[in-house]
Homo-oligomer: A and B are copies of this chain.
Amino acid sequence: MPSAIPTPQQRTAWLQRAAALAKVPEVLAITPTALVQPVMDASAWQGWRMERCGDPGELAGRLMRSGAEVHLDLGEHRVGQIELDLGSVGKPPDSPLRLRLRLSELPAEAAEAYRPPGGVLSHAWYQDEVVTVDELPCTLRFPRRLAGRWLSLVVVAGGSWDLVVRGIRFLAVTGAAHALPPAPAGLPPRLAAIDQISLRTLRDCLQTVFEDGPKRDRRLWTGDLRLQLLANGVSFRSTALAERSLCLLAAFTRESDGAFPACCFERPEPHAAADIITDYLLALPALLRELLRQGGDRELVRSLAPLARHQIGLALGWLGADGAIVPPAGWWTFIDWKDGLDRRAPLHGVLCWALDAWLGLAATLGLDAGDDVATLARLRSAGHAAFCRTPSPSWAAAAWMVLGGVVIGDEARRLLLATLDDPAAVTPGGPYLMHHAVHALCLVGERARATALIDSYWGGMVERGADVFWEVYDPAEPRRSPYGDFRLNSACHAWSCTPSWFLRDPEAATRPS
C-alpha cells in the first residue's frame, strides 16, 4: 500500500487548487450609528457598558485638540478597515497630527485600553494603532484590517488649530455575504437572536479562509473549520472557501509522519505552522464527509481520503494494553480550554467518531475500508469497558463517548444526563466543547434539553450584550482569559457559531457530524 503522506506534487496541486479558489472579499462601506461613551457599571459584562451620547453626525461639528477622545458604535461587529476624512478649522494646520485609533470588540476592551498590556500573547494583538498625518485635509485609510464594534479615536498630538473628523467609513469585508440570512420563520425571538448572532460570527470569521477569529488569531484552524463548515452549510454555503481552506491545510501535512496540521498560515504566502493537535487531526474524516454532504467537489474529497485514513492510523498507534487510547506524550490534545481535564476518554471518543466518519466517507466514495468496521467495534468495546461503567467524570468524556458511539441507545442517554446532572462533573471551559455537549444531547434524543443548553449558554452571552459569540465565556468569571488578559480574548470566534446549525437543521444533529 502506498504511503498516504502527500508527495510534493500532491502538495503543489493542493496549493494551486487553493489559489484558484481564492475569492476577493466583498467590501461594504458602513458608517457609525452612534457616538457612545463607556460607562462603568458593576452589573454590566466585564464592568462596562456603552451609553449612547449623540448622533454620529455631530462629530463633524466637534473641534478636537490634543487629548480629545471619541467613541463610536459601528452598529454591529464588523471586520475591515477604518477610513477617515480629516479636516481642520481655524488657522491652517502647521504641524503633523498624531491620532490613536482603536477598534474594540467589547465595551471593557475600549474602556480599559489605558491599562498596561498584560498576558502571555504578543501585545501587538491589541488593536491600538497610532498614525501620524502630515497633510490636512486628507482621507486616511488605515492599513490594518481590524475587527470589532467600538471605534475609538484619540488625538495624541494636535496643534494650535482644530481637527474636525468630517467623515468616518468602515470598509467592512467578508468572504461570506454582508446581509445575514434571516432567522427561520417560527423560531422564538431569543433563539432567532442566537441564530443571527451565530451567523454574524461566521460572517466575520469567513474571510479569504475560514478564520478562527478575525481579531485573533486571524488564522485557519482545523477544529474551527469543522464547526464553521456545519453552520456554513445551513447559511452562506461558501463551499469554495471551505475547499480552499482544506487544500491549504492538506498541503502542510507534516512530512515526517503525515499528521494533518492543526492550522496553517495563509499570508504572505501559504506556509506551515508547527501546531499538531491530536483531536484536530482526527477531525479530517468528518470534515470530508460534511464537505461531500454540502456538495463539495467529489474528486477533491477523494484525493484527501487516504490522508483522512492515515490520521486514524496514527491514532491507532496510541492504544494502550487495554485497547483504549492513551493521549500521546509530547502531542497537544485539546478537547477544551480546561486545566486538569482528563483527556483520555474524550480522545478515545474522538477516535471512534473519526473512524465512523471514515467508514461513512469510504462507503460514499466506494473505497475499500479493509478491517475498519471490525477495528471500530473493537475500539468501542474497549472504550466502553474503560470509560462507561460509571458516569463520566466530565462533560467532555460523556459527550465524546456518545459522539463516538461508544455508548448508544438508552445507555447513552442515561450516561450523558447523569454526567450533565452531576455537580462534580468537570464542566466545559468554552464553546468548543459546549457544542459537542449540545450535539450529544441531540444524538440521544434530548432535543429539548439541547435547545435549553443553547438557550442558557449562548443566550447568556446575548443577555450580556454579545452581538457576536465569544471565544471564552464563563458567566461566573467575566474576565477569564486563557492568555492572562481578557483584552486578548477573541470576541468573535468561529467555534461559537454552531447554534445556527442546531436551529436550522435539527435533523442533521441527530447523526454524528
Interface positions of A (Cβ within 8 A of B): 66, 91-92, 94-98, 117, 121-125, 129-130, 132-138, 144-145, 156-159, 217-219, 265, 267-268, 271-274
Contact = CB atoms under 8 A, between A and B. Distances in A.
B94 A219 contact: yes
A96 B127 CA distance: 10
Given A94-B219, A130-B130, A132-B129, A123 B156 contact: yes
Nearest to A90: B274
Nearest to A134: B144
9 contacts: A66-B123, A91-B274, A92-B273, A94-B265, A95-B125, A98-B123, A122-B158, A123-B156, A134-B144
A178 to B, nearest CB: 23
A214 to B, nearest CB: 12
A125 B218 CA distance: 34
A310 to B, nearest CB: 23
Contact of A268 (B137, B273, B274): B137
Contact of A134 (B66, B218, B271, B274): B218
Contacts of A135: 267-268
Contacts of A145: 134
A205 B510 CA distance: 74
B94 A272 contact: no
Given A91-B274, A274-B92, A157 B124 contact: yes
Contacts of A98: 122-124
B132 A124 contact: yes
Nearest to A275: B94
A84 to B, nearest CB: 14
A159 B91 CA distance: 44
Contact of A124 (B91, B144, B156, B272): B156
Given A96-B125, A123-B157, A130-B130, 17 more contacts: A66-B122, A91-B273, A92-B272, A92-B274, A94-B273, A95-B125, A95-B217, A96-B124, A97-B122, A97-B124, A98-B122, A122-B159, A124-B132, A129-B130, A129-B132, A134-B145, A135-B268
A94 B66 CA distance: 35
Nearest to A127: B132
A103 to B, nearest CB: 12
Nearest to A91: B274
A157 B268 CA distance: 20
Contacts of A218: 134
A121 B96 CA distance: 10
Contact of A96 (B122, B137, B159, B265): B122
Residue in A96, A145, A217 whose Cβ sees the most chain B Cβ within 10 Å: A96
Contacts of A144: 132, 134
Contacts of A123: 66, 98, 156-157
A122 B137 contact: no
Given A145-B134, A267-B135, A157 B94 contact: no
A269 B138 CA distance: 10
Nearest to A265: B92
Nearest to A216: B95
A22 to B, nearest CB: 16
A132 B97 CA distance: 19
